[in-house]
Structures are given as structure tokens and as C-alpha cells.
Structure 1
């Protein structure tokens, strides 16, 4: 690994920048500490050549850059994330390391500390002391500092306690005392020596006798029992689904109404300007900004829910309960959350992949999430099912949800045997954190940073793309008297020309017609506007479902050779399987990079075309879909 970390947005961390590396086990409060120390002064980077996220922030109190490395239990790497931690430490041999140690799991944290601090300056931040005290085995930190001969500070990242002393501790960082030299040893022999050192440290601390069964242990007896914990888990998943559908929708509609009102005011203020100027600013740029703003409340709600689940300690228990089911597709139980959220909206579902432990698991789940049929696709299903399957509309719509699950499972199995062979199907090994009360200030800070990241990075992609779509629709390519501007008929615009060019691709699926290909192009921007695009292409009012239905039936009868119902079902399947929306692709780009996003879009388009063709070819040969 090189000594420069590259920001997904173009920024870098040069090797000569003074930086502190933040290291720790998963679920020890490391990321919370990072957010507290840096506030909003942070950015997300990808380690070179990987999809592994690193977080870089400015620690103003210490006048240093702070790099939050992925959580790991060891510097002997088994995953890309652990390899990035090891390589970053190796490439910055003189950088100070701040190791976050969990007071409730001291031995496990000390093992990582021994690996990180044998030959480089380290300081120790001890978290979870309040929990350790309630369990009756809080370590003596003064004695621990004397044994290790490095600065040791008690901190509570959620409340901010102890942070003032942390900067001084980092400045006084130094290598650990008496750590065994493991250079040149085999991994098992090196681990034995380090565990011996850890045992010696713990023994010298003279810990009290093991504490009796804790409250967390008693709660887990119920929540990890399938007969009781299973219904609780299903209720939690149902609540997440409701957040992305019922709860968030009114807030999104409210924001959309504000944006619409702002658009009207802006259009009135530009009354004297040329039509193309007003159209570009209002229907292009402002619509793009409005799309971003509409998604922000939804993302904030989901981020708060995930933070509450994670901070309270329940997220790890949910992973245990869902593990057996998710292992069918080679993932562990933590992947259940993004999948469930995806049935409400794919954008926060992609964001929820951050709860997974490794970059490869996050990437695999990020490919599968778009096949969960979100609520935005439902208007397309309702329209076509009502027109072509009036007696069985509910069954047709239900079939889309069943097919969605099939695509997730089959897609996961295929990807695990092709592009993701390195994602091992190991049993879930997870440390169950102690239950604790979530700290709202820390959650608010974290949510703000994540929402801001989406608005600045994914939002920029959305605005630019929607503006480009408006330009395509405003540029005439047919009609002798057509002038550039918002009044260009769809079929005479560059947008319509693109739709007419690609429509023959869908001939094997039975909908070789520019009206439907134009709706698919618009649906790439947002699935919920595909119905409006169909109505607009036929010059039918959006609320005239009967008139639109007649046009749709006539078109598909002609394009499918008399098998309109089979073609309609194939179109519904294509809508289900191809890229959900521009916002989802933008979030994928932000988290996984441009190269993988292009691959994802390609995979989704190929699968959508193949399944749609199969549905039409089979359906057109069945009397009921003829």
C-alpha cells in the first residue's frame, strides 16, 4: 500500500501530513470518539485500490489530522479491511497511534494494542469504564499506565468526558514496554507470545473475581432465544420498513411541496427571462436540488434508527438472529438490515451497508440491494397490472415482490461463486456489546455528518445528471420549426431520439416502442416519474388512467405481435431488476467508487434484460398471457 490515501472526492492525505491513526476493535466506541473529536471537519476516503473506507478529520484540540481506520481484532489480516489497517500502520511507521481499549473486554483489546504499539508511539483511550464498573471489574488505569509505560486516559466518547486530556496523551505517546519481539515468527507462535504478554498484564493488574451474571446476560437469555427474540427481531425489521415507507413519506412530501413552491416563486421571478433560461434553472437545476433535499429527511430518519440500534447494543443481537437465513447467500446476519430497508427505499439501504464488517461484504450487499423492490416502483406495477391484469392485479403485484426475493437470493449465490469467491462463508463470530443507553448528542453529530456527506457528494451527481436530462429534452432533433427550449415535443427532442435508438433492444421482450424506452430512461432518474413519462409521451393527463391504458394496450399489442399482457409483465420485470434510480447509483458511487458503480449498473441492466426476455418468451406462448 502506498503512503497516500485517496479521497473518493479527489482529496488526499500526503505522507508528510502529521496524523494520528485511530485503531481499535469493532464496537469499542472508536468511530464515536472520532466523530466527537473532529465534529463536522471530516471527509471519507477510499484506501488505494480498494473499496475500504477510511475517515479523515481535523482534530482541532491537538492541531492534528486524525485517521479512523476500520475496526479489527488483529493485524494479521484475513480481510481487505484488516489488510488496510496493517498496511497503513506499516507505511506510517513514525505516526502516533491512538488505540481505543474496551474496559469490559480488556484482554481482547490489549492483544491488538501489543501488535500496534510494540515499535511505534502509542497512547491508550479506555472506553466503557462506566459499564465495567457496574459489572464490578473496572481496571485500575493508573496501574495499567505504569505497567504499559504509555499514556492511558479514560474517555467517554458519547459525553465528551476525558477528551481534554487525550491530546496531551497523544503528544506523550511512546512504544509499549516489554512487548515480546515477534519478528520472523510464524503467526501461531507470534500469537502465543503476545497472548502470554496480555495474560501477564492482566495478572499484574490484579483484577477482582469474575462478576456475577450481568443485566445484559439476563436480557440476552430472552432476546437471543428464537421463540421470543425471533418475534422481537421481526418487529424491529418491520419498524425499519415502516420508517422508509409510512413514517418518512409525509416528511418527504412536505419537503417536496416546499421545493415546488420555491420553483413557482423562481419561475415567477424569471418571468422576463428567455424560456430556456427559466426552464434550465427551474426544471433542471432546481429539480435536481429538490430531489436531493427530498431524500435528506429519509436518510436522516434511517441513520437515527441505525444509530439507536447500534448504540443500544441490539444491532449485534439482530445479526445473530438473522445469521442462519443470510448465510444462504454467503453473508452474515448483519446484511439483513440493508435488505429489509431496501424494500422501502434503496438509497438508505445502500447507506446501511456500513453496518457490515468488511468491505467485500458491504460491496456484495450493495449489489444485491437494488433488486429489493422499493416503494417507488409500485406506481408502475399498479398502472400496468390494472390495465393488463384487471382481475388479478394484486397477484401480479405480489409476484413482483416474490421475484425480488428470488433475484436477491439467486443473485447472491451466483455472485458468491464468481466475483466474490473471497467472501468466506464462515460462522458469525461477533462480540455482543453490553446494552447501554444511546447518547443523543453523539447520534445527532454522526447523523449530521452522514447526511451532509450524501448532500455534498451524491447530491452533486444527481443535480448534474438531472440538468443533463433537461437539456436532452430541450434540444430538438426533429421538426422543421422546433426551437430549443422547454416546449420541444418529447418525440422530437434529443431525449426522444435516444429512446427511439435504444427501443429495438427490447424487441425480444415485446416492448420495442420509444414510449416505453423513454419511460425506462426517465425511470433511471426516479422510478416514480416513469408513469408520468408514459403519460407525457402520449400527451395524456397524468390522472387519465383510462385514456393512458388504452394507449398502452394498443402500443404493446403492436410491439408484441398480439401478446400485450406478456409484454406488460416483461416491462414490469425490467422495472424491478434494472437500476432503481439516480440517487441509488449516486450513493453507490459515493461508497464503492465509480468503477464498481458502472459494473453494478451493467449487471443490473443485463439481468433485467435477460429476465424480461425470458418472461415474454415464455408468457407469449401461454394462452393466459397471450
Structure 2
């Protein structure tokens, strides 16, 4: 059958000779990203949409003779954009996103178990007038609930190919490839609310109707009156013979009676969050230590052997290679297992369907700081380690919430800071050390709340007063191989994106410690007190006079803490030339010679108010800039401009708080 309103000379009817671009569009939790990963495998890149912090994933797929570039988009319920993520989808469809030409084909991903909701987005897509096909997912779940969708009947109604696919098991991909081939050749558009009932799928001689010039504002105006779309959804549902008024109780419903219970559900959520916290501390730490030890041991020994053979043994070149570059590589690779474990846990929670339930349970609490419940997970993980916590922000579908959460995560007190708390608390407050450490974590929570309230004013969100609209996906058994593949891909992205920054920054720190500024020393063989590192610390020391710890040992340890917070204690021990406490305990820290030297130094620098200065130092350690690895990940997520601004603001905040604590504390 041919369409009377088609233009046979439309350029869109010409066969494609360049690499076509297919755009995956669909609601959240319909399997869209799983389908993207299945189609593209390792042939994909992740980047930010121009001018935003919204992730766009693209990859190559060989589909029925075409090398198709597939672009995954953020999940959206509507093309009436109310967030940066939804705006990116609309801009991609209208060709307004900088550097992105409009797609040659839209692959609309529909959930077979929630057709009416998916059809609403499909009705809106029909107004864009782009060539389209439909991938129908969750068919097996729908059938288990007694919902059967006739793909051929739906195709005949909406005028474009409809293919059943199971991306989790890889079924139906060959049929999808054929549908893409048909879509690129025939270029059918969705028969939506404004079209007469005609189809060109079977005949192949009907081109797409001429597409008017369309931008986001024009599209928004067309979609503002949604009555015709709702009527179209009801019409299509009726023609499919579907009625959603009677819904049977499913397995997911029965599980939710427990997991969404106000009492049992909260207890289970706390257990899950505790498990994630343990993953970032107890489980990952031995693996991280082994990885870093492998680089510091066999790899460094091998490198030493090479430098010896080429006559560079004992030179600054050897020091640069071992203590600079390889030390940085060791730090990077030590974090990879941690990132993989965290990504694996997140993928399991997301693939199973529990992540959405966790967000629902925590929503009321998170709204206090302008976020929704989905932000609770990365913030809790941050108390274990800030690095995987930043990675966990990728689970947040709203880009504004991702940005706010990524800025708040460094305010959570990671486990690496605990060694510093124990040392200082035991040395200065031996009878109340536990209370002081507990107060640091309470202070961290208060900083997160205060920071969230401030950022809520900075990043104004018109939707912040609206209730969380969240469709709970059906529970599914996660596919182990798919989940592991996804976790490995994300960990590799961290390695590529943040690894270079970490190595460069640590090599720079080596340069500070390797360059002599006094004494008769050679490059790379300098006592710490005679290095540019110590000179830099001494030049910065007067800044901390109002906080009571204007002592170069303390300043130097804070500089080292920028590399890794757990090195603060080691730096203090090195600069005082004493052994650091062997055990992570209050008793050992109190009795150590390092604790005694700290008390003497802080008493002297504070004019006899050592305890107040110690509290100020603890507050500064709590609040100041995160480690270089966290900063590199933050840069990968937010970009240099926002990361740099956050870096400066957090330093200033830490200094102000430390000064306030000391000035008040010395009065008592």
C-alpha cells in the first residue's frame, strides 16, 4: 500500500552510502542499555554530550551488511524535556546537539510488559518524523504475567517493523538486524496521532512523509497538548485487544510486599548499603594491596634490572621511573579491582531490579538536600571510598542530581581518613578518642547535608518539589556474564579516563620530593627536609597559623594526603623520622613516639592550645580536597572547570572550618 502524503523525491528515500547512525530511544529500565551493550560489545566509547554532564555511549554494530553506529540515549518517559538528560534526547532527535547530525534511524525500545507507557513515548516519536523501527523487550516477563503482544499486529497498526528481542540472552538480534536493514532502505515512519491509517512495511514502495523543519521548541509546542497522543495510545491498545484494567499479582508484587515494607524494607536496604560499604573496605582492600605490591615488587624489580643493564642504576632516571611513574601506575592498578567490584555490585543491583526499590525507600531522606532516593547509594559508598562512590553516581538518571552528588561525595569521610583520626585522637584525647572519631563522622554527615542545601540553591531544579516518578521494573535473575562484562567495561573506562591524570599528578609529586633546594644532594636522592617538597610545605605553613598548626610537618602531611589520605600518617612519621604506629588502634597510637612528637609540635605552634589545634587539624583532614585518584574520577565525570572550582571551594571550606574550630577551641 502506498501513502498519499509521501514525497517520492524526499532525500530520505535515497539509499545510504555512508555509515548510518541508529539512535536507541526508550523508557528507563526497558533493557535499552543492555541491548546496546549486546549489539556493540567492546566497540564502544563513552563521552559527555557537548556542554553537559550527560553520558552518551556510541559503538559499532555490523547489521545485515551495514556498519551501523549505534548511539545509546538516556532513558526518558517523554520528549517534553524537564531535565538535561531528556533535553539531550530531544536535541539528538531534532539534530540540535552540537557536533551530532540527526539519526538515520530511530530504534524505539518498548517494554512488552508495559505497552501503554511505552506507546506514549512512541506516539511522541511519531511527531519527529524520523525513520523508525521498534524493538520489543521483556517479552518473556510479559508472557509469565499472562500478557501476550502480537508483534506483527503492532507492526501493522503503527506502520514500522516490530521485532521481539531478548538482549540479556542475545535472542532476536538477527531479526533486529534485518529490521534495521529494512528501516534504512524503506525509511518508514511511525503512524501516529496525526497520520491516516496506512503502512509501507510490506509493500516497500512508501516513503516517509516530508519532514518539516523541527527544533526542540517547536516539538515541545506540538507535544504540549497531549490529548491526541493519549487517544492514540488507547486506540492502539484497543486494536491489540489489550486491557490493563485487570492486573494479576506477579512474583515481583509478592517480593515487593517485603522489600517495600516500611519496616522490613528499610532494614533490608540498610543491610544492602552495609554490604556495599564492606565491599569498599574489607573485601577490596586485600586485593588492592596485592595489586599495588605486585607493581612495587616484581614489576619494579624488573625495571631496576633494566636500568642497571643500561647504566642508569642509582640515577634520577631510575628514581623517576620507580618512585614516580611506576608508583603512579601502581596506585592506578590498585584501584581497578575496587572499581570492578563496585561496578559488579551496582550492575547486579540494577539488573535484578532492586536499585529502583532502594531509591524509593530512601527518597524522603534524600529530598532534604534536593536529591531523590537514588543518591543514597553513592553517598553511603563514599564512607568506604570516594572513588567508587563517584562511579556509583552513574546510576542516577538525572544529570543535575549526578552533578550535585559528585560534588557531595568528597565530603563523606572515606575509610582512609580513619588512620589519621585514630592517631590524632589517641595522641591528644586518650580518654575520649572514640568519641572524637565518632564526631568526625557526624561532622561528615552534617557537611553533606549543609553542602546539599547550598547546592540546591545553586543548581535550581524546577522539578525538585515533584514526587519521585519511578517505574519499578520486574525482578530478574542477573546474567552473570553480562554483568561481569559490563563491570569490566566500566572499570576499563576508569583506567583510561582517570589513569593518566593520576600518573601525571603522582609524577609531579615525585618531582617535588626529588629536587633538592638545600644541601649537597643529587636529583632524586634528597632527604625529605631538604627537598622542594619540604620547601613548598614550609612556604605554605603560615597559612595554617590561624588554625593553630603552622608546622611544616603537618603541612607536608596534608600535601601527601592529596596523593592518598592514608599516607598522612606515614608522611608525619617520615618527616619526624620516627616509626609510625604498627596497629590501627587507639592504644598503639597513644603510646607511639610519633604521638609524643605531635603533641610537642602542636603545643608549640598553637601557643599552648595543642588540643584545639589537633581538632582543627582533624576537621581540615575531614573537609579538604579528596585524593588525586578521586579528583581524577571527578574530572572524568564533571570536567576540569567544575572539578577545579570544587577543588578550590573545598580547600577554602576546610581552612575556614579549621580556623573556626581552633579559635573557638582555644577559649576553653
Instruction: Give distance in 1, aligned partners of 2:577 and 2:327.
Output: 21
For structure 1, which segment, 546-555 or 443-452, has the greater mean C-alpha deviation from structure 2 after superposition? 546-555
**Which of 542, 550, 553 is the aligned partner of 2:596?**
550
**Which of 472, 480, 486 is the aligned partner of 1:446?**
486
Instruction: Give distance in 2, aligned partners of 1:337 and 1:156.
Output: 29
1:551-570 counterparts in 2 under 5 A?
551-570=597-616
Aligned to 2:523: 484
Aligned to 1:512: 550
**Which of 246, 257, 267 is the aligned partner of 2:304?**
267
Instruction: Give distance in 2, aligned partners of 1:189 and 1:79.
Output: 16
Structure 1 position 178, deviation (Å): 4.3
Deviations 1:458-516 (A, max 9, x none): 0111011111111121111222x12211x212232222222122221111111112211
User: What is the RMSD computed on CA atoms of the aligned residues?
Assistant: 1.8
Aligned to 2:117: 108
Matched, 1:232 2:271: no
Aligned to 2:182: 172
Aligned to 2:226: 191
Structure 1 position 187, deviation (Å): 6.0
Matched, 1:386 2:426: yes
Aligned to 1:5: none
Is contact 1:35–1:445 with CA below 8 Å preserved after alignment? no
Structure 1 position 246, deviation (Å): 1.3
Q: Would the alpha carbon gap of residues 422 and 534 (structure 1) be closer, same or farther in structure 2, given more than 3 Å must change? A: farther
1:308-327 counterparts in 2 under 5 A?
308-327=348-367
Q: Would the alpha carbon gap of residues 325 and 185 (structure 1) be closer, same or farther in structure 2, given more than 3 Å must change? A: closer
Instruction: Give distance in 2, aligned partners of 1:18 and 1:324.
Output: 45
Structure 1 position 284, deviation (Å): 0.7
Is contact 1:331–1:425 with CA below 8 Å preserved after alignment? no
Is contact 2:119–2:233 with CA below 8 Å preserved after alignment? yes
SS in 1 for 2:135: strand
**Which of 341, 345, 359 is the aligned partner of 1:305?**
345
Q: Would the alpha carbon gap of residues 528 and 48 (structure 1) be closer, same or farther in structure 2, given more than 3 Å must change? A: same
For structure 1, which segment, 57-66 or 145-154, has the greater mean C-alpha deviation from structure 2 after superposition? 57-66
Is contact 1:97–1:117 with CA below 8 Å preserved after alignment? no
Aligned to 2:198: none
Structure 1 position 88, deviation (Å): 1.1
Aligned to 1:374: 414
For structure 1, which segment, 270-279 or 337-346, has the greater mean C-alpha deviation from structure 2 after superposition? 270-279
Instruction: Give distance in 2, aligned partners of 1:551 and 1:312.
Output: 53
Instruction: Give distance in 2, aligned partners of 1:425 and 1:53.
Output: 25
Matched, 1:618 2:664: yes
Unaligned stretches of 5+ residues in structure 2: 1-17, 96-100, 196-213, 583-588
Q: Would the alpha carbon gap of residues 499 and 268 (structure 1) be closer, same or farther in structure 2, given more than 3 Å must change? A: same
Is contact 2:413–2:441 with CA below 8 Å preserved after alignment? yes
Structure 1 position 185, deviation (Å): 8.3
Aligned residues: 605
TM-score of the two chains, using structure 2 as the length reference: 0.88
Aligned to 1:251: 287
Instruction: Give distance in 2, aligned partners of 1:243 and 1:552.
Output: 33
Unaligned stretches of 5+ residues in structure 1: 1-15
**Which of 80, 84, 99 is the aligned partner of 1:76?**
80
**Which of 135, 142, 161 is the aligned partner of 1:125?**
135
Is contact 2:22–2:103 with CA below 8 Å preserved after alignment? no
SS in 1 for 2:225: helix
